[in-house]
Amino acid sequence: MEEATHSHHIVLLPPPGFLGHLIPFIELAKKLVSQYNFTVTLIIIPHDSEPQKSLLQGINPTTTNINSVFLPPVSIDDLPDDLNPDVLLPSRVIRSLPSLRHALSSLGTPATALVVDLFAVHAIDVAKQVGIPAYIFYVIAANELLLAIDLPKLNHDDHSVKLPGSIELNHEDLPDSVKDKNSEFRRWIVDLCSRYLLADGILVNSFLDLESEAFQELERRRPGIPPIYPLGPLIRTGLETESDRGTEILEWLNNQPPKSVLFVSFGSGGTLSVDQFSELGLGLELSGQRFVWVVRAPQENVSAAYLNAQKKDNGNKSKDPLEYLPPGFLERTKDRGLVVAGWAPQIQVLGHGSTGGFLTHCGWNSILESAIFGVPLIAWPLCFEHKMNAVFLTDGLKAAIRVKEINENGIVERGHVSEVVKQLMEGEEGKIIVKRMMDVKFAAANTLSQEGSSSKALAQVVRKWIN
């Protein structure tokens, strides 16, 4: 196709403070520059700016055509302390719209198009005001896009929702936006989702072979919804480094047998309660399997921890998560387990030959990374859309075993943890999942090839931008 020139300038607007969304935006920017010669500007709405800046600094310094602009910070101190995190993100966006419009008008090269996050869709109004097309980059699953489009007609009392591919979500697995009875929260989310229909197109970080039924249903609904472009899987590229911990983990993995290690991580902010933290550790020990476990200090409010959504610093210093391990745990498991605090180079761990399974919170980035490397999964969803993803993984994709046995206190006990881990790593069900994930791995590689469906979808949307 015709190559773009640097005069074609795409502006990307990720959400404030949500690092799991910023990563695919950065990867999209890299593709637009390397494959299509675009100039790309990432406009950043500040919130906990240091992690944002760290990710942006990881962009190859030779990539001179990716720029970042930080908008002035906005205050949200007047909002209620108990405001739902799903509302907090678009609130920051709305308050940043005047600064966004000024930034768009101040660019040296006028923007060809504006691409916004699913939580930043109010910025579509600004794009229309300045006369440029606006697209949404939906960085999570196509199934969730379908649910969002249908949200205005769903009732919070619905006991289940059916999705394409014979996937049925029970009430407990629905996102809070569907089942919450709070009229104010629901009004916010319905307004957010209704704005998806205002976009000139929706880019989705997924691929046809992963969610074929969902994409077929989205296509069936055209022209009632914007054009859909499956561009994924876009995952973090380049080496992840943070002090010497990454090297230590990879060297430890080098000394383990092939496909023998379970990687245990709950994402960039996922935490467990104190009791659940202990039961997970004892379950890993009881399983007898090798593991790398990324631990964070327990916290009862899982959703607030995951989004880093607290508006005010309460002054508490984070405690060492190793202090919460069962007494004697490190000594008893030292020959077959590695516990690391806070961070691990997840991409490199999942791609390592010794990694044979992944216990995950079911965040979409983690699912796509597992797909690319063909790693079988244990689904342990925490909050937000994670439970919905877990249903898709087990009932739709059939690529995971889900942790299900929860006691009256909401705790997954050590015996069930051990059982699920052993089943994935050495059981018959685990062998079936391994084969399924290898098929997914090959499909992911094919879709990103030059003639693959995701490459063609990106070329299609680029053609619209430059013509």
Note if 352 is an active site residue: no
Cα(6)–Cα(38) distance, integer angstroms? 5
Cα(65)–Cα(54) distance, integer angstroms? 18
Asked if the bond preceding 233 is cis, omega within 30° of 0, the reply is: yes
Tokens of 455: 């490459």
Task: Please answer whether residues 423 and 429 qualify as being in contact, where contact means their C-beta atoms are separated by less than 8 angstroms.
Answer: yes
Task: Please answer whether residues 412 and 279 qualify as being in contact, where contact means their C-beta atoms are separated by less than 8 angstroms.
Answer: yes
CA-wise closest residue to 308 among 21, 1, 4, 6: 21
Strand 167-170 and strand 160-163: the pairing is: antiparallel
Catalytic: which of 21, 47, 352, 386?
A: 21
Q: How many CB atoms lie within 10 A of CB 441?
A: 16
Note if 117 is an active site residue: yes
User: Per-residue b/e over 219-247, b at no fewer than 16 CB within 10 Å?
Assistant: eeeeeebbbbbbbbbbbbeeeeeeeebbe
Catalytic: which of 8, 9, 86, 117?
A: 117
Cα(453)–Cα(400) distance, integer angstroms? 25
Q: What is the CA radius of gyration of the chain?
A: 22
Cα(345)–Cα(353) distance, integer angstroms? 14
Which residues are tagged catalytic?
Answer: 21, 117
